[in-house]
Structure 1
Amino acid sequence: MKVGLSACSDGHVKEWVYQIDELVQVMKNLGIEPVLALHISAKVDAFSGTDEERAADLMRLYADESIEAIYDISGGDLANGVLKYLDFDVIAGSNKVFWGYSDLTTVINAIYAITGKSSVLYQVKNMVYSQADLQKKRFADYLEGNTASLFDFKYEFLQGSHMEGIVVGGNIRCLTKLAGTKYWPDMSGKILLLESFGGGSGQIATLLTQLEQIGVFDKVTGVLLGTFTNYEKEDYELSVYDLLKMHISDTLPVACTEEIGHGHDSKAIVIGEKLIL
């Protein structure tokens, strides 16, 4: 099995480069042959290459018929810069699935909005982080056809008791960068997944306000809250759910899970596929 490793967002700083080598070795141990994009390490500030160069990297991986899947191993701020350079006709005609997380929320939701194709919200570098053994076992199970190990997650309802729809969303800060663009997914009848690495009370509150003001909470059939990593480390009086309740009706179903987000133990979820909770 051959896969592509892309970096559409910020380039890897020199302190992180060793993680690429570790990930390549982990993949080889799993019987995977990784093909690395040309632009992964940071060269000028946060940039590994120009927006056009990073997009060209991704399209080369899509064009290579020997590659079965594409895993983006970056994160940060720059991923939405590649969108105008992507060939969505090629992406739509490909049988490859794109994987990424955090800032790649922009690419994942753009792919769904333009092509209707699903992608996976997951950071494959989890296999070299602090929960590496757990994640390698899950990924090995996935490769052997046991998808439950990586994709099934525990959840509980905070409001309501049922929701179903195609999942959109991901990182709340990165998702809102798509608002007002052609890459914004139609929210009608969708389950909106929201999670975050950074952001305090005011920052998360203002992003939820924006989502309310552009009508998102009037269109979706439910909200699934993942983890809000830094928020949950602080001693805030209001929870993320408390903030969300300021912007939604008391009839909109809301569920939460501790297994989707930026945690090193996080599981994967498919964006652009129907989910029933």
Structure 2
Amino acid sequence: MAMLNKGDTAALVCCSNGLRPSEKQRIDTLADILGDMGIRTAVSAVMYAASTHYAGTGKKRAEAFMELYCRKDVRAVFDVSGGDLANEVLPHLDYGIFIREPKPVFGYSDLTVLLNAVNASAGMETYLYQIRNLTGACGDRQREEFYRTAMGGSACLYDFEFKFLRGSGMEGIMAGGNIRCLLKLAGTPWWPDFAGKLLFLESRSGDAAKMATYLCQLEQTGALDKVNGILLGTFTQMEEEGCRPRIEELVLNITEKRGVPVAATPQIGHGSDSRCLILGRNYCLNLQGKTL
């Protein structure tokens, strides 16, 4: 089912680190690309940071997000940021509005905190995907798959290849995202209930030592005792630097006693070719493929 039609408006927002002013051209290009698809854009007034990472306080960024989210003509919201600051907006969001008026919200990386908080508080599906991929190195394919999925009702942007590292099947509602950012929710009211869930993990930066300590913290929260399975995306720095032990080894070792199924996909993460993962959606992964 298509989520956007020609003439609809998509909001571009910034809930994490502010963009550099030099990135305005890329956002303008993104708006032009969406315009060519027949999608209007509304851009947050709190987007760019002149000399620091801050593009307004967390409250101001949250207010800008909610203002656009609540506009009747806005049919989907795409966060174009990443970094460290997204958790500043969480106390200032109106979660009741998400319950009453659910709309697709997209983001990646540090937006892991917002996507999981909205899902945990409002039960609303959220989308782990960076819309700036439409202007990236794999832009031609990304634009085609985005258009076919968002406007044509295809599921091609949601399709991804995977292989099992342990087990042969797993099923559950998907949660997770960037491992470092997800852990910022630990101990907060927005920490997901992982009972019976599938846990997705990926990362852009971080070597084997960092991943080991993140996984240790996840284990100590009890999350790894509750999940029905773990899906690994890309771990960019580890893969580029050939870090050892590899992320697959770390995850298999820390979950060895539990025997939890573990699968991996090279198609979801920080890459410019990344597909979209739907948090809050039930996934069934087995040797025959994937169903939603």
TM-score, normalisation: structure 2 = 0.93
Give yes or no for contact 1:62–1:91 (8 Å, CA) kept in 2: no
Match of 2:224 among 217, 220, 224: 217
Summarize the Cα distance change of 1:88–1:44 in structure 2 as closer, same or farther, 3 Å threshold.
Answer: farther
Show the 5 A alignment for 1:111-260.
111-249=118-256, 251-260=259-268
2:78 aligned residue: 71
Which range moves more in the overlay, 67-76 or 146-155? 146-155
Distance 1:272 1:145 in 2: 22
Which residue identity does 2:197 align to in structure 1? K
Distance 2:37 2:79 in 1: 18
Q: Percent identity?
A: 42
**Deviation by residue 1:3-46 (Cα, 9 ceiling, x = unmatched):** 11110000001332211111011110111001001111113510
The aligned length equals 277
2:36 aligned residue: 29
Distance 1:140 1:10 in 2: 27
Distance 2:92 2:21 in 1: 27
Q: By how many angstroms is 1:143 displaced?
A: 2.9
Give yes or no for contact 2:78–2:105 (8 Å, CA) kept in 1: yes
2:281 aligned residue: 273
Distance 1:237 1:196 in 2: 15
Give yes or no for contact 2:203–2:270 (8 Å, CA) kept in 1: yes
Give yes or no for contact 1:37–1:58 (8 Å, CA) kept in 2: yes
Distance 1:97 1:254 in 2: 28
Distance 1:246 1:213 in 2: 15
Moved over 4 A (4+): none
Matched position secondary structure for 1:24: helix
Distance 1:89 1:44 in 2: 35
Query: Runs of 5+ in structure 1 lacking a partner?
Result: none
TM-score, normalisation: structure 1 = 0.98
Show the 5 A alignment for 1:76-87.
76-87=83-94
2:117 aligned residue: 110
Give yes or no for contact 1:88–1:114 (8 Å, CA) kept in 2: yes
Which range moves more in the overlay, 191-200 or 138-147? 138-147
Distance 1:148 1:82 in 2: 31
Distance 2:261 2:36 in 1: 42
Give yes or no for contact 1:7–1:54 (8 Å, CA) kept in 2: yes
Distance 2:38 2:237 in 1: 35
1:20 aligned residue: 27
Matched position secondary structure for 1:246: helix
| Aligned alpha-carbon RMSD (Å) | 1.0
Give yes or no for contact 1:43–1:49 (8 Å, CA) kept in 2: no
Distance 1:44 1:59 in 2: 25
2:271 aligned residue: 263
Give yes or no for contact 1:62–1:90 (8 Å, CA) kept in 2: no
Which residue identity does 1:247 align to in structure 2? I
Q: By how many angstroms is 1:147 displaced?
A: 2.9
Which range moves more in the overlay, 13-22 or 162-171? 13-22
1:53 aligned residue: 60
Give yes or no for contact 1:7–1:40 (8 Å, CA) kept in 2: yes
Matched position secondary structure for 2:169: coil
Give yes or no for contact 2:79–2:130 (8 Å, CA) kept in 1: yes
Matched position secondary structure for 1:9: coil
Distance 2:61 2:244 in 1: 42
